Structure 1
Amino acid sequence: MTTARDLMIVAIDTPSTPPVERGDLSLALAGAELIDLVGAEAVALDGHHILPGLPPHIDDRLLREAVSSLVRQAPYESVEDWLWRRGRGLAAAYLAALEAEALVTRPHARRVLRDGPPTVADSAARRRAADRWASREPVLAGLAAAAGIGEQPADDQIDELSDDQVVTVLAAVNDAVMELEAVRQRRAIEDAAFDNLWRGV
């Protein structure tokens, strides 16, 4: 299992108020992939730029896709650009992968022509993710907090980490999530102004 898979399982398994935004989760998943690639020495960070290394042997399909999508020529991609590019639709991709492996199920709702919300099946993968979450493992907790899962601010998690590369990725995830929220708020204001115009307010 990977940090991104653990994060996806935690996101499904942990009630959050308000609900986790799919875009925020996708950005955090892209950050989780990058942190795992740093740990596998598949990449190294030079400041805020991602320097690819030798492709390692990776069993996870989505993480292999992440490796194959690395920019391997200068000027190398920034962490921020990676999060936005790789994160596009990533939550849906991880949900589909977990469903395909029967690690996540979607109960059929009675009398409704759609499936119910996804639930995590009892498995070794779920227990591993739950153990990391219960122990407040800093990387997983920091990514989860950035995505809006749990109550502890992400900055508190970053303070517990000593690996500068991991700290750089987590900080970039936090910045990207805040930028996305600013876009949402701006669109909401623009939509409200447009509605008021049509209503003559």
Structure 2
Amino acid sequence: MQSAEQLEAEQVDERLFQGDEPFALFDRWFADAKAGEPNDPNAMALGTADADGLPDVRMVLLKGHDARGFVFYTNIDSAKGLELAANPKASLLFHWKSLRRQVRVRGPVEPVSDAESDAYFASRPRGSQVGAWASAQSRPLQSRAELEQAVEQVEARFGDAPPPRPDFWRGYRVQPLAIEFWRDRRSRLHDRMVFRREGLDAPWTTLRLYP
């Protein structure tokens, strides 16, 4: 027979999955992560694939999200930028270890508007703005000194003026066709709830999955 504490915990777990709209559910989970995750609650693994279908994954930071999708920023000539140009689809994974939860996202990718990229770039610390100009991201670097020299050249170029967004740096939006919410449970009998849709304008369907 379950104790009152166990019943209450299970009721709380069930409330974690309430709702028929995944973006609102993500908002609730992300708010919990920002309140309880000790480091980078907006960190997410980004999976892409090149033109041959060879997958690649790395950690990036979520910089915006709404009903249109999940946004991150990068150099368009970086490995991920080139892979997205060849194959504009991606997956995301948020893993909040302290909460024992994760969220998976899959879907096509589109560039965000120039205005959106400009606005976010203007909000970045100056050091990050300079770094975006100085770094030929993912390309060979002879030494740390070469990178530091590139930073000095950018700082000299712009002086005290705020650097504008480089043409080679922009945002991307992952537009989900599937969003899965996962919650750790006893005996590895985890909770999994997935929202899926056939197209970006199609309605969501909801399905529980075996762990």
Q: TM-score by structure 1 length? A: 0.22
More helix by share: 1
Q: TM-score by structure 2 length? A: 0.21
Higher relative CO (Cα under 8 Å, sequence separation at least 6) belongs to: 1
Q: Which of 1 and 2 has greater Rg?
A: 2
More strand by share: 2
